[in-house]
Amino acid sequence: MNQYDDCWLRYERVADDDRLASYRRRCRHAYVAEKSPECGAIRDELRRALPGLLAEKPHLWQHPPTTVDGFLAVGTPDDMAMIAESVPGDDVADLEDGGFLVRSVTWNGADCLVVTASTDRGLVYGTFHLLRLLSVGEPIDDLDVREEPAYANRLLNQWDTPFHRSVERGYAGESIFDWERLPDLRSRYEDYARLLASVGINGIVLNNVNTTKPPRASANAAFDAFEGWQLLESRRLEDLTGLASLFRRYGIRPYLSVNFASPMLVGDLDTADPLEDDVQEWWREKADEIYDLVPDFGGFLVKADSEGQAGPYDYDRDHVDGANAIAQAVVPHGGRVWWRAFVYGSHEDRAVQAHDTFEPLDGEFADNVTVQIKNGPVDFQPREPASTLFGAMPKTDLGLELQITQEYTGQGVHATSHLPMWKEVLEFDTRADGEGTPVSSLFRGDGEGVVGVGNVGEDYNWTGHYLSQSNLYAFGRAAWDPDRSAEAITREWVRQTFDDDEDIVDTVTEILHDSWEACIDYETGGLGLMHMMHNGEEYLENHYYPSPAEWPGYHGASEDGIGVDRTESGSGYVTQYREPVAERYGSVETCPEKFLLFFHHLPWDHELEDGTTVVQRLYDNCFAGVEEVERLRERWRSLEGRVDERRYRHVAERFDEQVAQAERWRDVLTAYFREHSGIPDERGRARDG
Ligand code: GCV
């Protein structure tokens, strides 16, 4: 990467001389099996990485060298005798697709490293893993690494509108995909594929789930008329081929978001009724056409009956009818339909909707349908309890959808790590199979997995805020291994992205880890409240500024109290959890404070366990959130002169803006609480609105 930031693939010279000597001994010569597109990508990556890390040009051999003291070999045991001789075949044969081994071995008296796997995609991940170890300065003389991905599918959802080039909820500029010039490729696509593959992502949905109505005027008025569903038009599909072959080199399968009404919009049918034969036939022909062009196409993602998108309800059919009609078309090609559970319906409390709609349909979806569920029951709010659908559909393939982009957590301005939020959800014990069935233990089937809504755009640094690169990185790493600690993931990101210096690693890790709770405090007051944000017309204001008065139904503030009653006598949402979770959340006494007002509507002066009233805790949290951001800003400032000027300034300036914004949130929220409660802040800080 030259024109754009390298993110975590910087490959800088190894600082420690002894380490460098050992790396050079085993890696200055390398041999990569010569066969597949993936192996070509590996060779290219070694050519990029090793000169930087080793500060000398490596020698890439056409065959395993026999005359050198040490070398790196990448391939499957079938590819080369050296690997077959140094690694027992069974160790490799056992590996899941994507899994790999990285081992230090001695072969013909030479000190070697072997990266091996049962599939070429595994070789890609193994190589990136080795480069990560070298980048963070791990010893390699005694390596014995065996890794397999926890989930078979680790997908990215781009919310990009092709041609129009907007990115819904994107805060890093235009879409990187220049659809107008496809199938011509930009070097940026390859860099993106490298970033994704380096953290194990193996699928990408190229366009927004909203396939109608781009949200705002684009820079190029000619494309304002373009809508995402048009990608299924024959003349557009050919554009996919270049991207598909590029991503293939990195083991990444492309997918498309499709509009449920495509048979009418793209085709010339007068219905999209999923039970009509000609509708199903239309989908089959369309799928055949796509697979002719892109044989490893992953399948379709569908947002149906949600926020204005067409769906089976338009024909009095249900989600099973809808999903299965499209899924049957991709069965012959090994494709899959990812069907989102983010639907609206008759319930006043949106939290109830997804479980109410989908749980009764368990067991009816086709084998190649995955129901994709947002982490929480409402909509990516700063903090939500885990969705009740997790573990509730044992006979259906499920996917967990996380938001990498920071729609509700400060967008491109605030330093907010989402990793602690994801960990909280992954660790939630659903009790689906008795005690000890965390969310992370689900999604283990071949058709299941974890999905992240992407956060990159045209900005030089990819993600708008430099520190937001950590969210993309962390998503991939957590989707590969949900049991890896948040701290370990963040520390390795900082080491690769900034420096190995312990103080820098500690400081940036601390900033990221404390950032989420701080954001919850100033943006909601904590206690499980949500929807305190402005829903303005201006795109960049949307969901960025505070405006709690717009959403009384979502946070329940009134003169008598605050919070939403989701107990059995309220909306009933809590009863969708298994016991003992339902009972714990359902009782004011046992509900964790962080979710208290999500589940309960309580008087403003209700006393919490430590005797503080609800309203006072809300005031205190809002003020604490701002103080915390000020503290985190100071932590960042302590790095002045130790982090390169460009990134130092960028983050420092954003911190100034974040503090100002946090104060604004605090002031608007506390004034709102005061106005509705009529109770002043006992510490005299909260002002009138
Ligand atoms: C893609 C939220 C966002 C929408 C998004 C929607 C979804 O409502 O604000 O921009 O649309 O979620 O997940 O489909």
What one-character-per-residue DSSP string does 97-164 give? Answer: TT-EEEEEEEETTEEEEEEE-SSHHHHHHHHHHHHHHHHTT---TT-EEEE--SSSEEEEE--EETTT
Q: Which of 180, 224, 276, 379 is catalytic?
A: 379
Helix (H) or strand (E) segment spanning residue 204: strand 203-205
The span from the CA of 466 to the CA of 506, in Å, is: 17
Q: What are phi and psi of 478, to 5 degrees?
A: -75, -30
Q: Is the separation of the CB atoms in 597 and 563 below 8 Å?
A: yes
What is the position in ligand 1's atom list of the atom closest to the CA of 208?
1
Q: What are the b/e assignments for 503-530, b being 16+ CB within 10 Å?
A: ebbebbbebbbbbbbbbbbbbbbbbbbb
The strand pair at 144-147 and 160-161 is best described as unpaired
The span from the CA of 356 to the CA of 638, in Å, is: 50
pLDDT score of 183: 83
Whether 407 sits among the annotated catalytic residues: the reply is: yes
The mean pLDDT of 155-167, rounded to a whole number, is 93
What count of other Cβ atoms lies within 10 Å of the Cβ of residue 660? Answer: 12
pLDDT score of 2: 54
Segment among 180-184, 234-238, 405-409 with least mean pLDDT: 180-184
User: Quick one: tokens of 115?
Assistant: 């990266």
Residue 189 burial (CB < 10 Å; 0-12/13-18/19+)? middle
- pTM of structure: 0.97
The mean pLDDT of 76-91, rounded to a whole number, is 94
In 577-644, which residue ranges form alpha helices assigned H by DSSP?
A: 581-586, 596-599, 614-637
Share of the chain above pLDDT 70, in %: 98
The mean pLDDT of 119-133, rounded to a whole number, is 98
pLDDT tops 90 at residue 163: no
Q: Which of 307, 367, 538, 560 is catalytic?
A: 307
In tens, the pLDDT along 211-247 reads 987 555 655 666 677 888 999 999 999 999 999 999 9
Secondary-structure percent of the chain, ordered helix, strand, coil, rounded to 5: 40, 15, 45
pLDDT tops 90 at residue 302: yes
Q: What distance in angstroms lies between residue 88's CA and the mean position of ligand 1's atoms? A: 49
Q: Which amino acid is at 31?
A: Y
> Any idea of the CA torsion for 372, 373, 374, 375, to the nearest 10 degrees?
-120
Indicate whether residue 606 lines ligand 1 (CB < 6 A): no
pLDDT tops 60 at residue 316: yes
Indicate whether residue 408 lines ligand 1 (CB < 6 A): no
In tens, the pLDDT along 533-592 reads 998 766 667 899 999 999 999 999 999 999 999 999 999 999 999 999 999 999 999 999
pLDDT tops 50 at residue 188: yes
Segment among 28-32, 281-285, 307-311 with least mean pLDDT: 307-311
The mean pLDDT of 621-642, rounded to a whole number, is 98
pLDDT score of 607: 98
Which residues are paired to 402 by β-bridges?
452
Indicate whether residue 379 lines ligand 1 (CB < 6 A): yes
pLDDT tops 70 at residue 471: yes
pLDDT score of 63: 87
With CA atoms as reference, report the closest residue to 122 among 92, 144, 142.
Answer: 92
What is the position in ligand 1's atom list of the atom closest to the CA of 374?
13
Strand ranges across the sheet with 59-61 = 59-61, 29-32, 70-74, 110-116, 100-107, 144-147
pLDDT tops 50 at residue 1: no
Our measurement of the distance from residue 82's CA atom to the centroid of its chain's CA atoms, rounded to an integer in Å, reads 38
Per-residue confidence band for 276, with pLDDT thresholds at 50, 70 and 90: very high
The mean pLDDT of 681-687, rounded to a whole number, is 91
Q: What distance in angstroms lies between residue 456's CA and the mean position of ligand 1's atoms? A: 16
The strand pair at 29-32 and 110-116 is best described as unpaired
The mean pLDDT of 636-656, rounded to a whole number, is 97
The mean pLDDT of 418-433, rounded to a whole number, is 98
The span from the CA of 687 to the CA of 689, in Å, is: 6
Say which residue, 478 or 212, is predicted with more confidence.
478
pLDDT score of 220: 65
What count of other Cβ atoms lies within 10 Å of the Cβ of residue 84? Answer: 16
Per-residue confidence band for 430, with pLDDT thresholds at 50, 70 and 90: very high
